[in-house]
Structure 1
Amino acid sequence: MADTKAITTSKQIAALRLEEGRSVQRFRVHTSMGSGLFVELRKGRTQKVWLYRFYIANKSGDYRMGTFPAISLKQARELHAEAVQLVKKGIDPRTYRAAEVAKNTQAWTMQEAFERWLAHYTASPTRTGHLPTEKTIKQRKRRWRLHLEKQLASMRVQDVTRAKLIEVLSDAATEAREEARQCLIMLKGILAYAEDLEQIEESPAASITPAKIKARPSPPRDRYLSLGELTEVLQVFNDPNGRTSVTVRNVMRMLIATGARRSEVSQMQWGEVNMQAGIWTLPASRTKTRQVRRVALSAYSLEILKQQQQLSHSGFVFESPDIPGQP
């Protein structure tokens, strides 16, 4: 069942989170072309999907039009408008779209998907701003060749199922659990790329966890700061005359105060924080384990948040000082 209050801005869509206990949720989007446009969130899937619910001959259908933010609110409204006109003529927009795609693209095999994704991956900077190293690229090729190529290479991407992936990855886990985990990460990247380029509507790998295939969980990190080192670091970040911005220093202070991951803190949202109770609730969509996590906020953490209330003017706690509205 969809929310009754219609969404009108991209900022609202960016802030959407699946409610605890819900496996699927649809949010109605305002459009001048009538009803039926939604943003859909599902448990275990990080993407927010544009969806048009239509009726032809008293039968309903769901037309998935891509993901946000790859497809903007404006583009989604335009796609919705086109689909509405098709439905008025009695044409199923899903069938029409499939025919159009078939004219312009040929269905990929998994081998082609891997090669196209690898070329994209090789040319895409990592979070550090650097391109993947030659060693990393060789590792990806080796894992594909050893664990995935034999069973998946000749399959069409659109024919690959979640069950098939679990079977292949479980086989890999019997030989090397860590390799199976890395293969899962790579397959998620390959199939997400195929989804973005409209080879498939939804990635069958999106909701598969390492535990499902009996792969090794992420290795623990043994390195930690001593009390003396931690004190020195905090002295630097507490210095009001530091070279970095107040927001950046506060991000680093919050990392230390909560022990949360960098991406979790940097994308922290006001809607996740209960200042009165001193609780930060991380939704499953933003945690590595895909489970809701609650973090108790110390007095030190609350002081940081109070300072950010004066600096942030969006839904993000640590709003970028250079790009308004972004973390």
Structure 2
Amino acid sequence: MTQILTTKSLDALAPATAKRYEVRDQKVNGLHVRVSTTGAKVFYTMVRPNGSRRRIKIGPYPAVSLADARRRAMEIARDVELGEFEKPSAVSEASAETLGEMIPKFIELHAKPNTKDWKRTESVLHKFDGLKDRPIDQIKRQDVTKVLDDIIANGTPYRANRALSAIKKLMNWCVMRGDIETSPVALLRPPTREVQRDRVLNDDEIRAIWRQAENEDYPFGPFLKLLMMTGQRRAEVSDMRWSELNLDEGIWELPASRVKNARLHIVPLPPQAVNILRSLHRFLDSDFVFTTTGRSAISGFGRLKERLETILPENTPDWRFHDFRRTASTGMAKIGVMPHVIDAVTNHKSGVVSGVGATYNRYTYLNEKREALEQWANELMGIVQKPSATSADAK
């Protein structure tokens, strides 16, 4: 596409739909603007020093104005004509891409094939959406630091650590591919010192959350109950598939591709859990147990947590869904379940069976795990059915 570029026409250029496109300027030979799928616009000029065709990057619009881009394009053309061209900062096709274009590439080509938690990485990288129109080779350490400072200011300091980890992985991947020469965040350290959590819900908190789960409609009500009852990870429960379940035998078989330690995990389901699952309706042609669309598992856990917090006392200490898992482990320990059985229930690598034995003996400690989870389910029901301390005091 060729036209006489104006500031008005530049502002009106729509984002690319499939891949970036170019608009050439009729006024200055060689000058053109590239428009990406994110709407970012970058000026380039095309010249032939020594007969070799070369694309020279001028800079992003509107940081570089149209007048400045034309002036710079003409200077480069003059230098070529006078033989004074000395390889200005020509950049490869890949390095001209913006962060917004590079993130989906990183997720598809690296994160998905190599990490089971790629969805969380993708979500965390959205924290850098303010930089998505910036060419990847123009992102500076200060830009990333500002994003991290904003995350901390919003009261989520640990998320700043996760965001830094994600952007570091992306930048290192870009360096490995040759998209950039060095990572701008290589020297950055996690901004927040993390303290290992030991939060366990007390009986009143368990009762309050369970009763709220009973007030929640499908899918979040039964999801919460199974999360508390099984002691498994949030993503493992929320992404549960019907094909993983054998309700007649009370077995949930988690494939290695869905667990953190990449090891097949058998969860014996107590009768209470089986009853919850039998009571659920099933989406037509969908394998997801907990879904609102039939095409994907549930999400929106932040909003769910906000709803739960409205029924807890104002002075309730900070909690997370992962604390349900620690609560189940602690509860099983209190009622006499042996530590190695608890490790087997929660699929911790610290368990006594590992290596080849764990690979081939898929039902290691099955009976012990079943007994432990049934004991915990009974204990949980006992806690839930007791009146809360505040209710007893009120009487």
TM-score band (shorter)? Answer: 0.3 to 0.5
**Higher strand fraction (1 or 2):** 1
Normalising by the residue count of structure 2, what TM-score does the alignment of the two structures yield? 0.31
Rg larger in structure = 2
